[in-house]
């Protein structure tokens, strides 16, 4: 599984909240288009924003990165922040899922 991690540190928490909301709407609408297997957007009280998107193959990741570069440019025009992040290969990943084990029919 392939992943793209974005890390941003904003000047204040209000900017991070606005950016998180914008990214949630923009990326959430593109889950099917880019075959995103998992999308996690996290905001920290220190005005940090972390986005992790996971993909089954490298071609989906590359298509997503082209789209994401435009989204990052939008953020740069609007906010002041430091940025980091990297593309990578998932070495270990665990995500528990809620599952319904039985359905009772009456």
Query: pLDDT band for position 98 (50/70/90)?
Result: low
- Could you give all domains of the chain from N- to C-terminal order, each with its CATH number? 2-89 (3.30.70.100)
Per-residue pLDDT reduced to its tens digit, 56-87: 999 999 999 999 999 999 999 999 999 888 77
Predicted TM-score (pTM) of this structure: 0.80
Tell which residue, 46, 42, 53, has the closest CA to residue 81: 46
pLDDT, position 17 = 94
Q: How far is residue 70's CA from residue 73's CA, in Å, rounded to a whole number?
A: 5
pLDDT 10s digits, 8-63: 999 999 999 999 999 999 999 899 999 999 999 999 999 999 999 999 999 999 99
pLDDT of residue 90: 76
Question: Maximum distance among all alpha carbons in the chain?
Answer: 58
Residue 41, strand partner residues: 51
What pLDDT score does 20 carry?
94
Cα–Cα dist 52/69, whole Å: 15
Burial of 6 (0-12, 13-18, 19+ CB in 10 A): buried
């Amino acid at each position: 599984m392939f992943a793209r991690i974005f890390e941003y540190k904003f000047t204040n928490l209000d900017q991070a909240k606005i950016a998180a909301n914008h990214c949630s709407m923009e990326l959430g609408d593109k889950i099917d288009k880019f075959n995103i297997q998992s999308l996690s957007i996290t905001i920290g009280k220190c005005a940090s924003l972390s986005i992790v998107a996971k993909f089954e193959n490298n071609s989906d990741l590359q298509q997503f990165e082209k789209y994401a570069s435009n989204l990052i440019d939008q953020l740069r025009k609007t906010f002041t922040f430091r940025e980091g992040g990297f593309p990578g290969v998932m070495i270990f990943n665990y995500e528990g899922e809620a599952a319904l084990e039985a359905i009772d029919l009456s």
